[in-house]
Amino acid sequence: MLHSATIALTQKAQSGMSADTTVHHTPDGAPFVVCKSERPFVNPTSAPGSTPEEINGQLNLNLGQTFLTRKNKTLLWIIDFLDRTFIRWWEKVVFYLWGEMIPLSFRRYLTRMGWKIFLSLHKAILGKRTGLHASQSFEYHALTTIMWGARFIAITPRRMRFSLSQLYVTAPNEPPANHRIMKIDTPVAIDSTYKIPERFEDSCNVKGWFIHRVGGSQATSKGIFWIYGGAYLAGDVRGNSSAADWMGSQCQVDVFIPNIRLAPEADLDDVLWDVCIAYKWFSSQFEDPSSQITVLGISSGGAIVTRLMQLIGQHSRGEDIGVPDCFSSLLTNMPMPAAGVLFAPYVDYDANKKGTFLHYPQHDLVVTESVQQYGLPYLEDFIPKRRGMVDPRRDYSPIHRSMVGLPPLFVIVSEHEAVYDMTIQLVNRARSDNVKTTVCVFKYMCHVFSFLHGFIPEGRISMELVANWITEVLEKGS
């Protein structure tokens, strides 16, 4: 159930709103919207007609300074020179020492104590002068000050992978105990009537962590299928284990985090294959997966979870699934899950950046201009090009695929993050295809801010909202 603080927020819903759209406020005053309507989503907290460029003009960009911008070529050159000279060549050693040699308990202690000291100093000296808006929490303003500098350095795959591998260090809860983790590495039976290409033959084992609520191998009657994000370049099972276990504990269900391959070593078909084979195995652990399983995806993982559900639906209807025919060996008789949760899904691979995806990386703390500069080029080879495809990026984008037959969805996003436009387009597409879709929109937050819940109250509120929704949906299905 929702944390008591969130219940109090829920009771502050603005009067005059329809029953299916409510506006709430964080303790610092920022509004957030929860909309269960069947109609196209219209954000009641946004000024009508405002463009991302106009909205940026109203925000406190660049920590309130005018020279802190990536348009400052001199500043970029200086930072890049210092990065190459003093950091990049030996950072691998530091990553290894921190990630492998220092005990986790000590890493968590250093992180918590460092954050407490910094937050206290930030409140006393800078207050709420560095974030986008005064209605953000003190914690978010302090986090902005810390994370802002990342937009000026090269965000290489190694740096992305290290950063996301440490999420379990920053989480508010301890990682799951070893006795509750079943490390899966088992073959999955493939329908022999389908010819499996050689490239997939060596990938017929499902791998990952099955996190049980209690020790041993006995599963609960319900579960969450968890797909991590990281722009397809980063993310791993261990890094997501604490957040996944937190969600599982709130919903009192088991969680399975499959291991999926990453770019540039793999392409999108490889990732989809890994997810489909993992879901095929996970769904076989339950008597009635269509009432017992929630699939959950984060950012790029949200796109993959969406495609998984689309593939199940399209295959069951005999429609073109848009992936190699061998996927039918996995999709045949594959059950649709009971529900889907999408955290800021990256669902449009269009090469022409526009709208919020073009303008909001100026202030998004996660999808920064640097992340786009170094990460987006990988999509060129990551998205498969097969004969007959006119536009592979469009063909593989979940936003351009049918949503018919999908289960109820909960979609959470920030109005001021890079993927806001495409997320709302997906919500409206789902609603037009008669999919029950609840959307929760926060203000002034960065991409996937929910997973900063170890630091910011806005993240904790959003995670509690998701946990409450999953619990309600699975209870109805039981």
Copy the structure tokens of residue 116: 């407490």
Q: Where are the beta strands (DSSP E) in 36-128?
A: none
The rounded distance, in Å, linking the Cα atoms of 303 and 344 is: 9
Which pLDDT score is estimated for 477? 67
- Cα dist from 301 to 42, 263, 283, 379, 463, whole Å: 25, 13, 18, 15, 17
Task: Go through the domains of the chain in sequence order and give each one's CATH number.
Answer: 62-169 (no CATH), 172-477 (3.40.50.1820)
The rounded distance, in Å, linking the Cα atoms of 12 and 24 is: 6
Tens place of pLDDT per residue across the chain (478 aa): 344 444 344 444 444 456 799 999 999 999 999 999 999 999 999 887 789 999 999 999 999 888 888 888 898 899 899 988 888 889 999 999 999 999 999 999 999 999 999 999 999 999 999 999 999 999 999 999 999 989 999 999 999 999 999 999 999 999 999 999 999 999 888 877 777 777 887 788 899 999 998 765 555 689 999 999 999 999 999 999 999 999 999 999 999 999 999 999 999 999 999 999 999 999 999 988 889 999 999 999 999 999 999 999 999 999 988 888 888 889 999 999 999 999 999 999 987 888 999 999 999 999 999 999 888 888 888 999 887 778 889 999 999 999 999 999 999 999 999 999 999 999 999 999 999 999 999 999 999 999 999 999 999 999 999 999 999 998 886 5
The 10 Å Cβ neighbour count of residue 190 is 16
The rounded distance, in Å, linking the Cα atoms of 58 and 63 is: 13
Which pLDDT score is estimated for 11? 43
pTM: 0.93
Q: In what order do the strands lie in the sheet with 21-25?
A: 21-25, 31-35, 437-442, 409-414, 339-343, 293-298, 223-227, 254-258, 205-211, 181-187
